[in-house]
Structure 1
Amino acid sequence: MNNLDIREADDDLWAEYTRLAARGYGHPVSDLARLRPHADARVGLRAGRVVAGGLGLLVPQYFGGRPVPAACLAGGSVAPEERGEHLSVPMLAARIRVLRERGAALATVWTASTGYARRLGWAAPAQVFTWEVATDHLKQAFDHPRAQAFEITHGETPGAARLQRELAGRWNGPWQRPAWWDAWQHEVHPDLATYRFAAPGQDCTGLLSLGFSSHPLEGRRVVVQDFWAADDRVAAAMLAFIGRHNSRIPTALFERTGLPPVPLLQQGVHRAGSVVARHWHPWMLRVLDPARAVALRGWSAQAQCDLPLELVTEDGEATERYTLRVENGEGVLEPGHRPGRLTLTRPQFALWYAGGYRTAASAGLAGLRGDPGDLARFIGATADREPWLPEYF
């Protein structure tokens, strides 16, 4: 960590970092070039040599139905020969600091180093899976007359973009996608095809984006990247459409961001064991400014709270006292002086903020402390929406 010089990257420094990242990841990282025009690029130098770096994107994320400015961190890496020196700690701090000065109240990252990130105040609000299923099974389970009633149109329209934004607001975590999102995705996935689903004479209620990839045994498979459905009927129609690829492609893969966290496949496919799930490293959230984050997110009109809280360290030492007030769809977190009726760590606060605790029982098992009634009201304040991040960066 000593003598690390962190600075904004010019073209030469970024080219050097791109070569370093390829060594660190084991393959070229093409998004370092694609995302750089939209991001803050930082590198860390030691003795004039680039040893670490990464990108920071200022993108709002929906929480409680409102977009909250977030520092979304991408493409971070440390030179393999420098690992073990904890260079990621000052690098993360520097990358976040710039975006926090520009308004970020939260920070989000996809990371395999979950334990390390948790010690730095991050939390994983949800488990992340890919799903693999035979297209024959999808067709058998979902391709019935109700599914066939939907009209399917290739390509996007402004109405489809509005639908995506509306549906994104029903979850905690999705991006308010910037104008460059679609072009970026088509660069990453050149064969990406988007389809709109609508009942006859009605507006679009479903949006599906898929591509194709090689399968080690079967040649090709369908890969679902984006799955936005307003209700169960259009969701079934979208799954049936994927199943109709069965004449040429035997397998469908739903990417780690490709399905909302609901049991569409498990409950719909008839044969037990025909759906294969693979667990992936999760996205992690850190609340940079608790008071501002609470004020900016949306709140259910039914949520009611007036609770003194204590944010504590992992070993239980009290560090910050607040009073949380939620009423009439607005939330306020202000400095408090009363002993907290609930105690939680910074990572637990981030998990609560994202709606990651569904019940007081799950929160208690995860280590939150307090009266069961207080805990139920606290959890209920954010449990109206589930955490889901359908953007991978």
Structure 2
Amino acid sequence: MDESLTVVPADEDLLDEYDALAARSYGHRVDDITRLGPHADVRVALKHGRIVAGGLGLLIPQFFGGNPVPAACLGSGCVAPEERGNHLAARLLTERIRPLQEQGAVLATLWTASTGYARRLGWQAPTTVFSWSVDTEALRSFDAGPFRIEHGLTPDTEHLQQHLARQWNGPLARPAWWTASRQHQHHLTFYRFQQPGQAASGFLSLASSHDQPGGPHPVVHDFWAASDGTAAAMLSFLGRHHSRAARIEFQRTALPPTPHLLHALPRYRAATAHAWHPWMLRILNPAAAVRLRGWPADLDTAIPVGIGRDGGGAVWDRCLLQISAGSADLHPTTQESKVRLTRGQLAVWYAGGYRTPTAASLSGVRSTCPQALSTLIRATGEHEPWLPDHF
């Protein structure tokens, strides 16, 4: 360990220095530092009194199995280019997580392009992430239905978003300041969709992009629909932009992983997917994470599992996973494990990333009992992984 390196909370002066370092490290200014800084735990690494690395940490619950689970959401991490290769990121990640874990975080989540590095530190990506570009003209084929379109959000749409977020594994339980902060950062315009005499059943947010040839075009940041009819009406509304924009962009966190868009397009070439670096999850406290998560109400089972220890290697902790009446517990056992998961595989399973036993086996999950593996997959398969929030 480098004795000259210290990690400290950032005061106002250090925050400004960290902001400048991030701009130098990323090659552009990182708006999240000033936007999220007031709500975050900001840590910086000092070497001989000079900032060489930094990062934000937000204590925000994420929904898993319908329950909010306290999570350390890590963003805007950077290391000075001249200091890369000295393992500063690993040291800083540990120090960024510690204060949030002391406040109750049992998970840690980040978006990163350095997937291999994060994987070695215990993170894994539960799902792939795509942005979409769609021909605006093709969206006109969707049925607008009897929906009214209103500008702006209401308290009802905020409640709708939280209700829909619970139906996926990963969305943030957005704090009160979240939407206004994003609206200001991206200059978002919101539209809500409702049938006459009913509450809103969907809403979307739009920004305008000028960074591609062909002039400005709409970019969708939020897309929340309670039904396929609502989603069709929202896509039809986007198709009305055909006179001024040839394409509609859906940013990487916008669309949920459902096939509705592709199944209803008039031609398959109307949509183009672009793969992005994923969000990655790490289970900090497996027993607490299992206890706080939601579980299928009709599942009653006890499965001996082996969980790899932090740091990898061939050492496994034997645990008994007991699920009953929508609750679960994970505790030590002497029973021989029927399923073995590394810490990364545990994170994917926890997020519902393994949809079938075959997918789990091909990802390296080891099992001596096919029935136990099938039951384990079913336990987290009620909801699919999706993180519609970027930080």
Q: What TM-score, normalized by structure 1, do the two folds share?
A: 0.97
C-alpha distance in 2 between matches for 1:189 and 1:34: 11
Corresponding residue for residue 69 of structure 1: 70
Q: Which amino acid aligns with 2:150?
A: T
Corresponding residue for residue 118 of structure 1: 119
- Secondary structure at the aligned position of 1:85 is classed as coil
Corresponding residue for residue 380 of structure 2: 382
RMSD: 1.2
Corresponding residue for residue 370 of structure 2: 372
The one-character-per-residue Cα deviations of 1:17-75 (angstroms, maximum 9, x if unpaired) are 11111011100112111111100010001111100011100000000001000000011
Q: Which amino acid aligns with 2:51?
A: V
1:265 is displaced (CA, Å) by 2.0
1:316 is displaced (CA, Å) by 6.0
Give the 3 Å change call, closer, same or farther, for CA 368–49 of structure 1 in structure 2: same
Output aligned runs, 1:1-393, within 5 Å. Answer: 2=2, 3-139=4-140, 141-142=141-142, 144=143, 147-190=144-187, 192-312=188-308, 317-370=314-367, 371-393=369-391
1:339 is displaced (CA, Å) by 1.8
Q: What TM-score, normalized by structure 2, do the two folds share?
A: 0.97
Structure 1 runs of 4+ aligned residues shifted over 6 Å read none
1:319 is displaced (CA, Å) by 2.8
Check whether the contact 1:305–1:378 (CA below 8 A) recurs between aligned residues: no
Check whether the contact 1:225–1:255 (CA below 8 A) recurs between aligned residues: yes
- Secondary structure at the aligned position of 2:269 is classed as coil
Q: Which amino acid aligns with 1:125?
A: P
C-alpha distance in 2 between matches for 1:5 and 1:71: 21
C-alpha distance in 2 between matches for 1:334 and 1:77: 37
Percent of residue pairs identical: 53
C-alpha distance in 1 between matches for 2:272 and 2:362: 28
Equivalenced residues, count? 388
The one-character-per-residue Cα deviations of 1:85-129 (angstroms, maximum 9, x if unpaired) are 010111000000000000001000000011110111101011000
C-alpha distance in 2 between matches for 1:288 and 1:174: 18
C-alpha distance in 2 between matches for 1:243 and 1:274: 12
Check whether the contact 1:310–1:318 (CA below 8 A) recurs between aligned residues: no
- Segments of structure 1 that go 5 or more residues without pairing to the other structure are none
C-alpha distance in 2 between matches for 1:302 and 1:243: 42
C-alpha distance in 2 between matches for 1:177 and 1:247: 35
C-alpha distance in 1 between matches for 2:116 and 2:347: 15
C-alpha distance in 2 between matches for 1:315 and 1:111: 20
